[in-house]
Every structure is written in structure tokens, then in C-alpha cells.
């Protein structure tokens, strides 16, 4: 019997990278997974993968910057399932890098990374309160939410906000709902090279590898499946006494 048997999990940014890996893993552990993403085709394809493996999923088109759409999505989940057990606010963007950004770029980054995460949690809380288990909220921040980032102050600011959001909600929602945040280091997903394209699109792989060799103690990039394992653990009953934790999954980057 899977660890998440009969649980309902909602994952934003579930069509790609860490969200996709987590959706597949949670479904393989028995959860019904709602894969919500701006990329509806990608979300449907993840749900097809889940179903081909014998699991259950539902794809939803969602732009997390649209607060009414987030609420509408959660209403639809409530109508269909009557509750949520796990809400994973994972959608994110590297956004504009560098020190100077336009107001439009600022609003988009903060809109997806922080405001989107905030309202995803807010819309999910009433459904999580109806869980038969202890409901669990997970966020994806970044190591850039724990320490400053030379690549993008804006990204770092938005992800730092997510860490404090998670800790504050953990205090306010205990004991009914546990809230934790994962802080990934460099993870091999379509997003990773985008952080390194500020100066140029040339030699991104080589520049990334040189940085990883120098700054990541485990001397490699992480895999989305390694984030999925952390998400599964934090959302499962194995983490029943863990709330308010910002967990780096980063090959040791912030240990220095
Ligand atoms: N890849 C890394 O190295 C890294 C490191 C630290 C943190 N992160 C964070 O991890 C999370 C997952 O990123 P990933 O690396 O898997 O990237 P990814 O690009 O593979 O996946 C991101 C997903 O978010 C979706 N998305 C983007 N904007 C959205 C919106 N407005 N509404 C709904 N969905 C939206 C995309 O369509 C995509 O499916 C993000 O929050 C990211 O900031 C990534």
C-alpha cells in the first residue's frame, strides 16, 4: 500500500521539472494528483503518464498570478473531491536577472513566485481543513530564498518571501495543517539554464558546470526526482512532527 493512499494532492507548476517529478511520485504512492499549470498541454501529458502507470490524476489549466482563477480551481477541486490533503505551491519563474528590472518584470516575478504561492495556499486552506489526515502545505522556494543570489536579487527577494510565508503559516495553521518549504539548489530542469542566460546564451552548460564544481559540495546538479523525494517525505505521515521547516535540497550549497 502506497504512503499517500487515498490522499488528494494539488500541485502548481506540475507540468514540468520538479512539479512533474513530484506528481508522478505522489501518484505512484497512491495519491490522486491534480496537476495545475499555465501549460495545459504539459499538465495533460503528466496526467496521461500517471494514468498509464495505473494512477489517478486530473489536469487543470491555471495561471497562479490570476487570484480568481486560483480560487476557481480550488472550488472545482472542492466540488469534485470535497477536500485536499496536500497542496504544493511549486510554480515559479527565474524572472528577470540582474540588478535593474522594469516594474513589469518585477510584478511578473513577484506575481508568480510570491503572490501566486500566497493565494494558492490561501485558496487551499479551507479544503485542507477538511482532510481526514493532518493537511500539508508545501512551497518551493530556493537556496536563493535563504542566502543572497548574485544572479538575481529579484528572484532571491521573491523566494525569501516564500520562506517567511511558510514559517508564518506553519505557526498560524498548527495543529491542523503542517507547512514546510523546500529550498532547491541547482536542479536539472528546463528552468536551470534560464538563470544563466543574463550575460549571454553561449556556453551556459560549461559556466554552470564550473560554478557547480566550485560551489556545490556534492559537485553535481540535483535531479527533479530528488526534490520529489523530499516533497513526498514532507507531505507524508513520516514527517508528522515537522512543520515550519525550510529544507535545503542543494548538494550542500548553503552549508558553507
Ligand atoms: N531548477 C532549479 O535549479 C531551481 C532552483 C531553485 C528553485 N527552483 C524553483 O523550483 C520550482 C519549480 O521549477 P522547475 O525547476 O521545476 O522549473 P520548470 O520550468 O521545469 O517548471 C516550472 C513550471 O511552472 C509553470 N509555471 C510558470 N509560471 C506559471 C504560472 N504563472 N502559473 C502556473 N504555472 C506556471 C511552468 O509552466 C512550468 O511547468 C520553481 O518555483 C522554481 O523557482 C528551481
pLDDT in tens, 16-51: 999 999 999 999 999 999 999 999 999 999 999 999
Give the residue carrying C-alpha cell 477536500: 83
pLDDT in tens, the chain (256 residues): 899 999 999 999 999 999 999 999 999 999 999 999 999 999 999 999 999 999 999 999 999 999 999 999 999 999 999 999 999 999 999 998 888 999 999 999 999 999 999 999 999 999 999 999 889 999 999 999 999 998 899 999 999 999 999 999 999 999 999 999 999 999 999 999 988 886 678 898 999 999 999 999 999 999 999 999 999 999 999 999 999 999 999 999 999 8
- Secondary structure string (H, E, C) spanning 140-196: ECCHHHCCCCCCCHHHHHHHHHHHHHHHHHHHHHCCCEEEEEEEECCECCCCHHHHH
Q: Ligand 1: which of 49, 95, 191, 249 to mutate, judged by most atoms within 8 Å of the beta carbon? A: 191
15 lines ligand 1 (CB under 6 A): yes
Q: Can you tell me the distance from the alpha carbon of 155 to that of 162, in angstroms, rounded to the nearest whole number?
A: 11
Closest C-alpha to ligand 1, atom 8: 142
- Ligand 1 nearest atom to the CA of residue 64, by list position: 32
Break the chain down into helix, strand, coil percent, rounded to 5.
50, 15, 35
pLDDT digits (tens, 9 = 90+) for 158-184: 999 999 999 999 999 999 999 999 999
The sheet that has 177-184: what strands, in order across it? Answer: 56-61, 32-37, 8-12, 86-89, 135-140, 177-184, 246-249
Give SS3 for 232. helix
Residue 90 C-alpha to ligand 1 middle, in angstroms? 7
Substitution site in 91, 147, 254 for ligand 1 pocket (most atoms within 8 Å of beta carbon): 91
Q: List all residues 6 or more positions away from 184 whose beta carbon is below 8 Å from its beta carbon.
A: 18, 140, 142, 143, 222, 227, 248, 249, 250
Gap from CA of 92 to ligand 1 centroid (Å):
4
**What domains lie within the chain, and their CATH numbers?**
8-189+223-249 (3.40.50.720)
Closest C-alpha to 62, from 36, 93, 82: 36
Question: Is there an atom of ligand 1 within 6 Å of 186 CB?
Answer: yes
Amino acid at each position: 500500500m502506497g504512503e499517500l493512499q487515498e490522499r488528494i494532492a494539488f500541485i502548481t507548476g506540475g507540468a514540468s521539472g520538479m512539479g512533474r517529478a513530484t506528481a508522478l511520485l505522489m501518484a505512484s504512492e497512491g495519491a490522486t494528483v491534480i496537476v495545475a499549470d499555465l501549460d495545459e498541454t504539459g499538465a495533460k501529458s503528466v496526467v496521461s503518464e500517471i494514468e498509464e502507470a495505473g494512477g489517478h490524476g486530473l489536469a487543470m489549466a491555471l495561471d497562479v498570478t490570476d487570484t480568481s482563477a486560483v480560487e476557481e480551481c480550488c472550488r472545482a477541486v472542492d466540488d469534485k473531491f470535497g477536500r485536499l490533503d496536500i497542496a504544493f505551491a511549486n510554480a515559479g519563474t527565474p524572472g528577470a536577472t540582474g540588478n535593474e528590472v522594469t516594474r513589469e518584470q518585477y510584478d511578473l516575478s513577484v506575481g508568480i513566485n510570491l503572490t501566486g504561492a500566497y493565494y494558492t495556499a490561501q485558496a487551499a486552506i479551507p479544503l485542507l481543513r477538511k482532510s481526514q489526515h493532518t493537511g500539508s502545505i508545501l512551497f518551493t522556494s530556493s537556496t536563493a530564498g535563504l542566502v543572497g543570489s548574485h544572479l538575481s536579487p529579484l528572484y532571491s527577494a521573491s523566494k525569501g518571501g516564500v520562506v517567511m510565508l511558510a514559517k508564518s503559516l506553519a505557526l498560524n495553521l498548527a495543529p491542523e495543517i503542517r507547512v514546510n518549504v523546500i529550498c532547491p539548489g541547482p536542479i536539472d530542469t528546463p528552468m536551470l539554464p534560464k538563470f544563466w542566460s543574463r550575460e549571454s546564451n553561449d556556453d551556459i552548460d560549461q559556466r554552470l558546470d564550473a560554478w557547480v564544481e566550485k560551489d556545490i559540495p556534492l559537485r553535481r546538479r540535483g535531479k527533479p526526482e530528488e526534490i520529489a523525494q523530499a516533497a513526498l517525505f514532507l507531505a507524508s505521515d513520516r514527517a508528522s512532527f515537522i512543520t515550519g521547516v525550510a529544507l535545503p535540497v542543494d548538494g550542500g550549497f548553503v552549508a558553507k
